[in-house]
Structure 1
Amino acid sequence: MIGREKSIYDVQTDEQLPYQCKVEKRGNSCADEPRGDGFVTIHKKLRKNSSDSVKPNSNVEPNPGLLTPTKHPIQENGDTPEKVRELYSLVENLRCRTSIFVNSSLPVIYYGARTHKQLQQVVKEFKRTVYCGNASMTILSSRDNTCLREYDSKQWPSKNDMCRGCTKTFQADKSSSKGSNCPYFDNRKALNHKTLPPAFDLTDLIEAGERLKACPFYAARDMASGANIIMCPYNYLVDPGIRNRMQINLQDNIVIIDEGHNIEDICRDTASFDFKLDHLRNAIKEMTAAASQRFGSQHLISHIDFLLNVLKKWEQWFENQIPLIKGVVINNKEATKLFDMDAFVNTLNEYNIGMERYNGFSKKVLEFCKKLQEDPRTLVGVTQSTGTLLESLETALGYLFRDSCRNMEHFIPVFVRKVDFANDNVSWRHSQFEKSVKNEQYILRLICLNPALIFSELHSARTVILASGTLTPMDALKAELGTSFPHAISPKHAISTDRVWVGALSAARCTRAALDAAAQDALGRAVRAVCAAAPHGVLCFAPSYDVLRVLRARWQDTGLWRELEKLKDVYIEDTDAKRHDTMMQEYVESVEGRGALLLSVYRGKVAEGMDFRDRQARAVIAIGIPYSNTKNIAVMEKKKYNDKYSRNSNGQLLAGSEWYRVHAYRALNQALGRCVRHKDDWGALLLIDSRFEKSQNREHLSSWVKSLFKTNDHSFNILEDLKSFMVRMNQNDENTT
């Protein structure tokens, strides 16, 4: 292995920090003068009808109306999530004090959120701003979400392959006057900023596409070339592969990442890869068929032969690892073999798929995938899955071998045997149950432990804003992302202290191992008491789907489930996106009727980013502390990694055990934040776990939650106080109406 260069976690001086942002007012007399301090300059505002001119570029036409808006100020609304209103208030203040123009063009604002449901809320707020109608916007999404063409799974492996096959058939032939095989694609220009409202979400875009028979996917991409604001899921901004495919250029533009507490995990996941032997063999099959046809130019045939040879060597590498993992104990349906990085690279070199061959492999992959994208007629039978596999392999090896191999130390290679058992009850046992294995997969997993490798690619942006209610501790977040954020805004919660009730109940130690029958019954009594006291909607969060299944089974056996159903309609979060949306509609309707209880998990769809305002969440029950599975290989290695590098980060990077705690409490705080969404809202938070009796286990709760604890009593007596709070607040609501 090549010698280690300076680590990203070595202590740096201010001058060495890779990215800084500083707001500074200055006149336009020095507009073109370079800065030597690495800070961003905010230039003088250009006034409407002033003599100062703005030169248009190919992407964005200058819009004088955007410079000095004359509409009414931003209006607050009780339906608006508090955090979103605060963010727009910040933007409004900046608008009043400084301008955001750079020389000859407007920066594009990229607004990323976790889900389109969250973006829907942002669009709702954008409609209320002074910019709506002056600043053009678009929203990006996948073909799976936006394709209007009927999908035939028998003809096409995926929607991506269908889209490529239907839209690229005639595009490569410039002399042809024919359109493509997709009428929606051919009519995509009908869907534009003139035929859409000034602010639209994904649902609006799809409905307009259906009405105009125009493709929402390509129309949104076309509109992005001239939009001032581009909204998208934040993996579109973080993942370099998606950025390239969607032609997203962050250079000198503005990036806003909502729900920013997820960015650390997202960056690590983006640079982590799973390569499955089954996918590799499918790719070999497709490339072999393409090679046998010997069509196209000699240049393309040589690429196919080269890449096919490399894939076959990878297949040999996999097959030779299988005997080494067959005897490894299976835990949670997986057996794992952890590689030392030097040993891993040596095995790749032995099969001629390592460092020395990477440059040639990289060049041919990029050329081959470009041809696959632009002219699939020359590669009939090669699906998008094969192209994605080759691109992912090139990217993963690039992280290891580029830049003099300096990033190797930030990755862990793991060989995985994943099994399904005929009887799930033996999934945890030793390999003596080999006869019970129904099917198995072999996976090479390359785990990234340093999110800064991905986040550093956002440094080309003019400004990066992370928005979340749970970013603390900030120094640790900065160290994880390898980025300096010199400006931090942390306002106090807007809710009045008499409108929120917070208490902790020591009914049980809510870990999977400690949840015996008595603990499950105690939790059931607590949930029943809250549902009896709280009107309308109640949310209940559990640490995992496994815990949720255990509780449901026990409560059904004891009859408590029927008691809950007598009090409220009971719903359980669904992992399927479409079923989840349907369930949420039913929940909202039930809230306004006899009331509803929604059981869900931390880090799930319900726990993060969804807006449960007013009656939709009069109470939130938080069961346990959502610590990640300590037997998960990625979690174990991340803890070891932080222990190693925290010593070199001047205390900013958290040690492994503390990182593990903070990671859990960020998820807990997000779930608690579903309850009160604006200053006139009200509700109750009940934390259930015996660990909350100790002050150190309340240390990482959000400051507003800690400040509102009503009592140190952790017995069932506190539920009477909760009931009194609910009666008082409900009477206030009735008197108000």
Structure 2
Amino acid sequence: MKLREWQEKLSEKVIQALRQNFLVALQAPTGSGKTIFALHVGFKVKERLIFVVRTHNQFFPVYRELKTYYSDKDLAFIIGKSSACLYTSEDVDPQDIYCNICSAYKGLTYKLTIKDPPSIFLNKLKEEGKSANFCPYYSLLDSVNYAHVIIMTYPYLFFPWLRDLLNIDFSKYIIVIDEAHNIDNISSIDEKRLSKRSLDQAISQARSNEARRILEKLKNTTSKLIHPDEKNILVSDISELRLSDDEIRILEDEYSDIRQEMIKSGKISKNYIGNILRFLYSIQDERIKVFSYSDSLVAKYIISSDFINILNDENLTFMLMSGTMPPLDYLKNIIGINRREIIYIDVEKAVKSKVSGSYECFISLDVTSAYALRSEEMAKKYASYLLKIFYNSSLHVMAVFPSYEFMNKVSRHLSNINYIKETPDTSIEEVMISIKDTKSLIMGIARGKLSEGVELVSNGRSLISDVIVAGIPFPPVDDYLKIRADAISKMLKKDISDELIRIQALISVKQSIGRAIRSPNDKATVWLLDKRFNSLWWKRELNCLNARKIKL
């Protein structure tokens, strides 16, 4: 295996840091070869590695590099119970699957050898599980015991109750956390939601009049507390949401009966009463606050320290990787990584040269996504920019918006072009099929599925020639952000509100740009469509000091 120049220059430094049990934070652009670098330095230090990724889509790059360069190493991957179960639909919560009475509640008695990409292998394993009556989920769990490389998603590392399920001695592994900028919001994965729709579904599932009465009462209370706004509004009094012990027991009995019936029937669908119960359990935790968000109630942790604390275990060896790694002070102060030894490496600064593809910047001076100025006239201007850029692009165009609301407002003024608009249910597979034969405008939202951690490539090259950042994606300054900023500021004894907002927006913009830079040979055009980008701070942070300024 021939290493790239930057990998050769920095290998020994990282290897020595890992051997001394430093936490290594590696900032390297997309397409620079972070995954193969992690495999290379990891195997120099320990015999086993764990890759922790945000989504199942990110399993494939690890599989690809391992099979290409370390084909003698055994691979295992851990996937959610609802994805691996023989009898579930995709929207089932793992807790709703009653494994103990399932006839397939056992793993394989022989070693799994993963030769296909994880998604293909899983489909084959499920087919084999149906015919031989074994559980793919527990078979995959068993396979971690003999694998040199394990791939898992964030919850299996950061959530203590899932981490304990694995029965892994993590001290024997180099633990590589990919897309590590996402750990800032790790607790959001464990959010619990309550909506009128989920309550209606739970009422239709309930068998007893008592359970239906309780759920109707809860629905009436919820209706009074929710708002349609796409921002977190604190619900200060949640006393009416709390049920009596007897009412909880009635719902638990209903939930248990439905779980058992589903597994016996061999067809497991979403158990909405379980969804309601998990929300009710969560609001008993004093660390949780309840917010209204887009016609739902959301129970959220304010501080992620209970999830992040594993990174502060001095007995474990971590390597954090991202093309948009937050600054070292942000990792320490805001995310809460406070172990004694941290080494932060910005690859391009360390080797004093670019290590991936390049891009040219344009900044528009006549549009802004500032909330108070999001008029129909402004939306039409944005649509005009999108059309003009699209017609002049060589490949697909990705446009990233601050919110669904603004994206929808602009898209109403688009016509006569093929465009794909992200929804909460959009899958990467759907996008790949849609863009296969026709040049397309791909519209997503900041911090969404399409703007982060997604590869749209062919033969190793990006399929995107132009990236449009349609407004600065500042996180909404809502009650959640204010409460979180206040809590962290009190701990640090200084105001971090501005830093929290700016760094999150910067990471989102860099992630968006990264969709077009997937290899060292990629070249892209980046359109920063907001006059607020025309500041020294933004131009410096985005490496756009020589950006050309444009108007319609």
Q: TM-score, normalised by structure 2?
A: 0.76
Give the letter for the 2:470 counterpart.
I
- Counterparts in 2 of 1:245-394, with a 5 A limit? 245=165, 247=167, 250=170, 253-267=173-187, 269-270=188-189, 272-274=191-193, 322=221, 326=224, 330=227, 332=229, 338-339=235-236
Provide the rounded CA distance (Å) in 2 between the counterparts of 1:457 and 1:497.
32
Which residue does 1:235 correspond to in 2?
A: 155
The answer (yes or no) to whether the contact 2:202–2:215 under 8 Å persists in 1 is no
Question: Contact 2:432–2:456 at 8 Å: present in 1 too?
Answer: no
Aligned partners of 2:18 and 2:378: how far apart in 1?
A: 60
What residue is the counterpart of 1:672 in the other structure? Answer: 513
Contact kept in structure 1, 2:462 and 2:518, CA below 8 Å: no
Contact 2:465 2:525 in 1 (8 A): yes
Q: How many Å apart are 1:526 and its aligned residue?
A: 2.2
What pairs up with 1:439-588 in 2 under 5 angstroms?
A: 443=297, 445-460=298-313, 462-484=316-338, 486-492=342-348, 495=354, 499-555=358-414, 561-562=415-416, 565=417, 569-578=418-427, 580-587=428-435
Written as runs of structure 1 = structure 2, the 5 A alignment for 1:147-166 is: 147-149=85-87, 158=92, 164=98
1:102-141 equivalences under 5 Å are 108-130=48-70, 132-134=71-73, 136-141=74-79
Partner of 1:609: 453
Distance 1:334 1:638, change over 3 A: closer
Which has the bigger relative contact order, CA under 8 A and spacing at least 6?
Answer: 2
- Does residue 595 of the first structure (1) align with residue 433 of the second (2)? no
Q: Which residue of 2 is the match for residue 706 of structure 1?
A: 544
Task: Give the drift of 1:635.
Answer: 2.0
User: Structure 1 residues 200 and 542, CA, compared in 2 at 3 Å: closer, same or farther?
Assistant: same
User: SS of the counterpart of 1:675?
Assistant: coil
Contact 1:191 1:216 in 2 (8 A): no
Asked whether the 8 Å contact 2:396–2:466 carries over to 1, the reply is yes
The residue type equivalent to 2:535 in the other structure is K
3-state SS of the aligned residue for 2:472? Answer: coil
- Structure 1 CA distance, aligned partners of 2:516 and 2:476? 27
Q: CA contact under 8 A between 2:444 and 2:450: conserved in structure 1?
A: yes
Go from structure 1 to structure 2 and tell me whether the alpha carbon gap of 1:392 and 1:248 turns closer, same or farther (over 3 Å shift): farther
Selected match of 1:645 from 474, 491, 499: 491
Asked whether 1:193 is paired with 2:112, we answer yes
Give 1 or 2 for the bigger CA radius of gyration: 1
Deviation at 1:522, TM superposition (A): 2.6
Alignment deviations for residues 501-523 of structure 1 (CA, whole Å, 9 cap, x no partner) = 12211231123442334333332
Match of 1:629 in 2: 476
Change (3 A) 1:387 1:548: closer
Q: Is the 8 Å Cα contact of residues 541 and 599 (structure 1) preserved in structure 2? A: yes
Q: Is the 8 A contact 1:698 1:706 kept in 2?
A: yes
2:100 to 165, 168, 173: 168
Which protein has the bigger strand share?
A: 2
d(CA) in 2 for partners of 1:81 and 1:417? 33
8 Å Cα contact 1:623/1:689 also seen in 2: yes
Residue 414 of structure 1 is matched in structure 2 by 290
SS in 2 for 1:524: helix
Asked if the contact 2:467–2:526 (Cα under 8 Å) also holds between the matched residues in 1, the reply is: yes
CA distance in 2 between partners of 1:689 and 1:595 (Å): 25
Provide structure 1 residue ranges, at least 5 long, that are not aligned to the other structure.
1-20, 27-38, 43-79, 101-105, 171-179, 293-307, 354-360, 401-410, 420-440, 556-560, 649-653, 717-737
Q: What is the aligned partner in structure 2 of residue 691 from structure 1? A: 532
Supply the distance in 2 between the matched residues of 1:472 and 1:25 (Cα, whole angstroms).
20
Judge which range, 255-264 or 387-396, deviates more.
Answer: 387-396
Distance 1:449 1:516 in 2: 33
5+ residue gaps, structure 2, are 1-13, 24-28
* 1:644 positional shift: 3.1
Give the drift of 1:456.
0.6
Q: 3-state SS of the aligned residue for 1:230?
A: strand
Q: How many Å apart are 1:671 and its aligned residue?
A: 0.4
The answer on whether the counterparts of 1:451 and 1:480 sit within 8 Å (CA) in structure 2 is no
Specify the SS of the correspondent of 2:398: strand
Identify if the C-alpha distance between structure 1 residues 516 and 280 changes in structure 2 by more than 3 Å, giving closer, same or farther. Answer: closer
The aligned counterpart of 2:145 is 225
Partners of 2:200 and 2:355 in 1: CA distance: 61
What is the CA-CA distance between 1:600 and the residue it aligns to? 1.8
1:526 and 1:680 map into 2 onto residues whose CA distance is 27
Structure 1 range deviating more: 252-261 or 387-396? 387-396
| Residues 418 and 537 of structure 1: CA distance in aligned 2, closer, same or farther (over 3 Å) | closer
Deviation of 1:287 after TM superposition, in Å, equals 11
What amino acid is the match of 1:242? L
| Equivalent residue number for residue 13 of structure 1 | none
Taking a change above 3 Å as real, the CA distance of residues 532 and 413 of structure 1, as seen in their structure-2 partners, is closer
In the TM superposition, what are the counterparts of 1:3-14 in structure 2 within 5 Å? none
* Maintained 8 Å contact 1:505/1:687: yes
| 1:137–1:228 CA contact under 8 A, matched in 2 | yes
Given the superposition, is the C-alpha separation of residues 415 and 201 from structure 1 closer, same or farther in structure 2, using an over 3 Å criterion? closer
- Give the SS at the match of 1:554: coil
Structure 1 contact 191–209 (Cα < 8 Å) conserved:
no
1:91-115 deviation digits (Å, cap 9, x = unpaired): 424645xx32xxxxx5x53212111
Are the equivalent residues in 1 in contact too, given 2:30–2:356 (CA < 8 A)?
Answer: no
Relative to structure 1, is the Cα distance of residues 162 and 473 closer, same or farther in structure 2, using a 3 angstrom cutoff? closer
Q: How does 1:650-669 map to 2 (within 5 A)?
A: 655-669=496-510
Give the SS at the match of 1:189: coil
Structure 2 equivalent of residue 174 of structure 1: none
Q: 1:169 to 1:316 in 2, by over 3 A?
A: closer
Corresponding residue of 2:120: 203
2:112 alignment partner, SS class: coil
Q: Secondary structure at the match of 2:360?
A: strand
Check the 8 A contact 1:412/1:446 in 2, yes or no: yes
Asked whether the equivalents of residues 22 and 342 of structure 2 are also in contact (C-alpha less than 8 Å), the reply is no
2:30 and 2:518 in contact (8 A); partners too: yes
- Residues 623-679 of structure 1 show CA distances to partners (whole Å, capped at 9, x for unaligned) of 10111222x33123223334433426xxxxx61122112112211111011112221
Deviations 1:436-467 (A, max 9, x none): xxxxx7x5x54322122211144446112221
Contact residue 191 and residue 219 of structure 1 kept, 8 A: no
> Could you tell me whether the CA contact under 8 Å between 1:537 and 1:615 is conserved in 2?
no
Contact 1:639 1:656 in 2 (8 A): yes
1:157-198 Cα deviation digits (max 9, x unpaired): 95858853xx5337xxxxxxxxx2x5xx66x5278424x32x
Equivalent residue letter for 1:597: L
CA contact (8 A) 2:455 2:515 kept: yes
**Number of equivalent positions:** 514
Asked if the contact 2:17/2:343 (under 8 Å) is kept, the reply is no
Shift of 1:610: 1.1
Asked whether the equivalents of residues 621 and 685 of structure 1 are also in contact (C-alpha less than 8 Å), the reply is yes
1:689 CA drift (Å): 0.5
Q: Distance in 1 between matches of 2:101 and 2:158?
A: 31
Determine if contact 1:508/1:515 at 8 Å carries over to the other structure. no
In the aligned structure 1, how far is the partner of 2:151 from the partner of 2:366? 44
CA distance in structure 1 between the aligned counterparts of 2:354 and 2:231, rounded to whole angstroms: 46
Letter aligned with residue 112 of structure 2: H
Q: Distance in 2 between matches of 1:516 and 1:147?
A: 48
- AA in 1 matched with 2:439: G
Deviates more, 1:243-252 or 1:662-671: 243-252
Equivalent AA in structure 2 for residue 142 of structure 1: G
| CA-to-aligned-CA distance 1:459-491 (integer Å, 9 cap, x gap) | 446112221111222211222232235112211
Q: Is the 8 A contact 2:396 2:465 kept in 1?
A: yes
Cα distance in 2 for partners of 1:619, 1:469 equals 18
